[in-house]
Structure 1
Amino acid sequence: MNPRDAPNQGAVGSGGVASRRSTSRVVLLRCGLVAGPLFVVTFLLEGAFKGSGYDALRHPVSSLELGSHGWIQVANFLVAGVLTIAFATGVWRSGHRSGGVLIGVWGAGLIGAGLFTTDPVNGFPLNTPDVAAYTTSGALHDGFSLPGFLALAVAQLVLCRGGWKWLTYSLLSATAYVVCFGLTSSAFNQTAGLIAVGGLFQRITVTIGWAYTVALAIRLLRRS
């Protein structure tokens, strides 16, 4: 073998490794295109056909875990959580480490919400009080969910750099997300005038957050 060929072979090898890493990052980022839409479509369909006293305007998405066919929402949480953590890894590998960690917390929150069933709230399931007694499972459900929601809000601020259009979108998205999350929390804490629309505000909050992750995935994929 000609010694002069060695550097060229090394360069080819390095290029192959870089290409594989780039392909892996793209696959991980594409998980961000799937997680949100899959989660939203699933809970919308399940909420529409749940029956048994479930009201999508009044009751939270997590309440879909309760009653008949509750396993569907459990699986929805777990699948979305795994896809989100994969996406977070892609964000990390794209150079946005803080943002990747925050989105990873959101993914972990989804998985925790699936592993631990929520408590009844706002009268669902039927014949339960508006504010039921806390159980260990319900406390763990909230203990995972709340940090996840907050992490996604912070992620929108941390990842806002990149031109005035992206900055404007990120700030508007974060603001709307936080406002709707606050209204959701007030509704589920039995604030008069909001109880009947707590589920609606939560759905708006979740949809805003997922829309941001999809937009972020598209942005990073274009750069890749």
Structure 2
Amino acid sequence: MATTTRTPETHGTTRTHNDCDPATRVTRSLLGYGVLAGPFYVSVALAQVFTRDGFDPAVHQWSMLALGDHGWIQVANLTLTGLMLVAFAVGLGRALTPGRGARWAPRLVAAYGISLVAAGAFRADAAYGFPVGTAEGPGDISWHGMLHLAAGAVGFTCLAVACFVLARRYTADGRLTWAVFSRIVGVVFLAGFGAVAVGAGAAAANLAFTAAIVLVFGWITAVALDRYRRTVSPS
């Protein structure tokens, strides 16, 4: 849907964002993937959380939804979300240039997107009774389970660092509320990741990590919307 803006040079006439030059339209389209990625991932995951037999959100992490007969749904969810984030990262780089964070913020977000694709390709190991029929307890770690954990560790770390990189950009731009918000999200996300890393299988750790995932995807959506609204055609 087109939105309108008034410009001094048109003396009260209006123009729509559909009148953007081609480069701006491409940038805004790429940023749009960042708006969609979080709601898409969270809604698809939650739909499975409440419908998959044997899945307990207090015990099992969302990545384990990739296991079992319907695991392809979560694999597709991880892959598509990861690709959307890579596209968003390209748009973010275009939207931030020139200025602080224009190089590293997009790279870090893209690394997280790639890690999601890798997490879908290398599935987590069955554990704690899921899928149904799996023995209770943490179980053995396979080679693909190890790669899954490695992808998560790299991706989560990159995304947390991206929060702080963008916080510096917001500070440089004089947008202190956004800077504080980004730093809080980075800290909370790191804390949630640390909690699940040392307390896998513990209800409090899993729920804290799930909350951190929802929060950081909300942050991505907010940042994408912010950059989308601020990306305009050169005069």
Q: TM-score, normalised by structure 2?
A: 0.81
Aligned to 1:10: none
Residues 35-184 of structure 1 mapped to structure 2, 5 A cutoff = 35-51=37-53, 53-94=54-95, 95=97, 96-125=102-131, 126-160=133-167, 161-162=169-170, 163-184=175-196
Listed as ranges, the gaps of 5+ residues in structure 1 are 1-17
The CA deviation at 1:212 is 1.2
Q: Which has the larger radius of gyration?
A: 1
CA deviations 1:172-194 (Å, max 9, x no partner) are: 11111111221122221x5xxxx
Q: Distance in 1 between matches of 2:62 and 2:226?
A: 28
Letter of the 1:101 counterpart: R
Q: Which of 195, 204, 224 pairs up with 2:211? A: 204
Runs of 4+ in 1 over 3 A off after TM superposition: none
Q: d(CA) in 2 for partners of 1:92 and 1:127?
A: 44
CA distance in 2, matches of 1:122, 1:178: 24
Cα deviation for residue 30 of structure 1 reads 0.3
One-letter amino acid of the structure 2 residue matched with residue 209 of structure 1: V
Q: 1:67 corresponds to which letter in structure 2? A: G
Higher helix proportion: 1
Q: CA deviation at 1:129?
A: 4.1
Partner of 1:7: none
> d(CA) in 1 for partners of 2:60 and 2:155?
19
Structure 1: how far apart are the matches of 2:185 and 2:140? 34
Give, as a single letter, the amino acid of the residue that structure 2 aligns with 1:150: T
- May I ask how many residue pairs the two structures share in their alignment? 201
The equivalent residue for 1:223 is 230
For structure 2, the residue ranges without an aligned partner over 5 or more in a row are: 1-19
CA distance in 2, matches of 1:176, 1:121: 26
The alpha-carbon deviation at position 197 of structure 1 amounts to 3.5
Name the Cα RMSD after superposition.
1.4
Q: CA deviation at 1:109?
A: 0.5
Please list the CA deviations of residues 89-139 of structure 1 after superposition, one character each: whole Å capped at 9, or x if unmatched.
011112222100000000000000111111123332333242221111111
**In 1, distance between residues paired with 2:65 and 2:204?**
16
TM-score, scaled relative to structure 1: 0.85
Structure 2: how far apart are the matches of 1:146 and 1:213? 19
Query: Is the Cα–Cα contact under 8 Å of residues 192 and 205 in structure 2 kept in the other structure?
Result: no
